[in-house]
């Protein structure tokens, strides 16, 4: 959800006016530093709280696609925090169907293809996550391509979810896991070795152990790097503290991502600019992140080829500009 949608829905659904006013001011300043992960989780709950009816989810889905189109995004895998919807005791069916339909309608007009990842909240435990997986499998025909877990790694260790990840694979879903965000490299190792996660959300702390970097590199598991998010949640103090250069030096595949763009006041475009400026990256390196994203997409090979053609056409355009 972008800032306007948050404020609009917050007013409509009578969110705490003081909280909302504070958010409006923060959004104005684009200054999102929650200080630590728990403070971020509290903020996240407030924001998720403004989504109430299926119509709210539809509005969020439509606005999201409009934002992506404005950034020249052709394909997106959008994480729906399904665990959060269930935690709010809302109908995940109604919420998802509304959001997916609105996103598909807007996407058909604007040329953006959206698929979905259903995310469970790992510190809520296995049973709620099982329900998220059940729904993800049910909605495969509606564009749900993967199952993942996010949240507090310490309170929701990987070994709890081994059976669920096996089941996800058996049901034809791809898998992701946030790891190495709130815990060290051992959490990334567990996500890869125990869960068989195909992509790692964040993974920045893998850089603390070269053996773990070698593991993700050798298994071809990309790290989904989200610079602004890591500063906002307090994982690092400044973007320049991110170990991206060391990760790239080890030959690990990296994609750049916006995480919660509305909540962190960022966008995919801003993340590319931030990475380029902070680490003095070349145009080839930036294009490489997009190529990695296409390779790592949960799409059929023929669909990936189409994206590669579109990407090459755009990069050629850049080269001559």
Instruction: Report d(CA 274, CA 232) in Å as an integer.
Output: 14
Check 28, 127, 141, 181 and give the catalytic one: 181
271 counts as binding Zn ion under rule CB under 5 A? no
Using alpha carbons only, give the angle 174, 179, 183 rounded to the nearest 5 degrees.
Answer: 165
Instruction: Report d(CA 91, CA 97) in Å as an integer.
Output: 10
Q: Smallest gap, in angstroms, from Cβ of residue 259 to Zn ion?
A: 4
Q: How many CA atoms lie within 13 A of 209 on its CB side?
A: 15
Query: Total residues contacting Zn ion (rule CB under 5 A)?
Result: 1
Instruction: Report d(CA 113, CA 309) in Å as an integer.
Output: 15
Neighbours of 293 (CB within 10 A): 22
Closer by beta carbon to Zn ion, 58 or else 80 = 80
Distances (CA, A) of 312 to 112, 160, 277, 288, 294: 17, 42, 23, 11, 12
Q: What are phi and psi of 89, to 5 degrees?
A: 60, 35
Closer by beta carbon to Zn ion, 111 or else 234 = 234
The angle, 0 to 180 degrees and rounded to 10, between the axes of the packed helices 54-70 and 92-110 is 30
Q: Smallest gap, in angstroms, from Cβ of residue 181 to Zn ion?
A: 7
Cβ contact 177:195 at 8 Å: yes
Which residue from 152, 186, 198, 259 is in contact with Zn ion, where contact means CB under 5 A?
259
Q: Is 181 a catalytic residue?
A: yes
Neighbours of 3 (CB within 10 A): 17
Q: Smallest gap, in angstroms, from Cβ of residue 229 to Zn ion?
A: 6
**Segment near Zn ion (CB under 5 A); pick from 9-17, 169-177, 215-223, 259-267:** 259-267
Tokens of 123: 């510190």
Q: Smallest gap, in angstroms, from Cβ of residue 163 to Zn ion?
A: 24
Instruction: Report d(CA 12, CA 52) in Å as an integer.
Output: 10
Residue with the CB atom nearest Zn ion in the bound state: 259
The angle, 0 to 180 degrees and rounded to 10, between the axes of the packed helices 301-320 and 283-296 is 170
Q: How many CA atoms lie within 13 A of 45 on its CB side?
A: 9
Q: Smallest gap, in angstroms, from Cβ of residue 19 to Zn ion?
A: 22
Closer by beta carbon to Zn ion, 152 or else 259 = 259
Q: Smallest gap, in angstroms, from Cβ of residue 118 to Zn ion?
A: 14
Q: What is the DSSP letter of 159?
A: G
Residues forming the active site: 181
Give contact residues for Zn ion (rule: CB under 5 A). 259
């Amino acid at each position: 959800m972008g800032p306007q949608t948050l404020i609009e829905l917050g007013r409509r659904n009578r969110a705490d006016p003081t909280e909302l006013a504070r958010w409006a001011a923060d959004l104005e300043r684009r200054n999102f530093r929650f200080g630590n992960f728990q403070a971020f989780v509290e903020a996240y709950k407030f924001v998720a709280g403004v989504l109430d009816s299926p119509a709210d989810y539809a509005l969020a889905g439509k606005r999201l696609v409009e934002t992506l189109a404005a950034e020249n995004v052709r394909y997106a895998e959008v994480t729906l925090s399904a665990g959060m919807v269930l935690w709010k005791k809302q109908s995940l069916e109604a919420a998802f169907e509304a959001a997916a339909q609105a996103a598909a309608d807007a996407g058909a007009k604007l040329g953006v293809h959206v698929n979905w990842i259903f995310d469970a909240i790992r510190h809520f435990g296995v049973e709620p996550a099982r329900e998220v997986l059940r729904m993800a499998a049910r909605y495969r025909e509606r564009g749900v391509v993967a199952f993942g877990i996010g949240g507090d790694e310490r309170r929701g260790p990987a070994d709890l979810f081994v059976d669920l990840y096996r089941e996800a694979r058996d049901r034809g879903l791809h898998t992701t896991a946030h790891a190495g965000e709130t815990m060290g490299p051992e959490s990334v190792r567990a996500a890869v070795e125990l869960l068989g996660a195909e992509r790692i959300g964040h993974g920045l702390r893998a850089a603390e152990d070269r053996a773990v970097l070698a593991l993700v590199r050798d298994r071809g598991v990309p790290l989904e790097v989200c610079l602004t998010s890591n500063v906002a949640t307090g994982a690092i103090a400044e973007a320049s503290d991110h170990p991206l250069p060391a990760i790239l030096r080890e030959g690990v595949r990296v994609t750049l991502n916006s995480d919660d763009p509305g909540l962190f006041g960022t966008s995919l475009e801003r993340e590319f600019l931030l990475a380029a400026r902070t680490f003095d990256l070349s145009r080839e390196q930036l294009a490489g992140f997009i190529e990695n994203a296409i390779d790592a997409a949960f799409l059929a090979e023929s669909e990936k080829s189409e994206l590669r053609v579109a990407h090459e056409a755009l990069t050629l355009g850049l080269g001559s500009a």
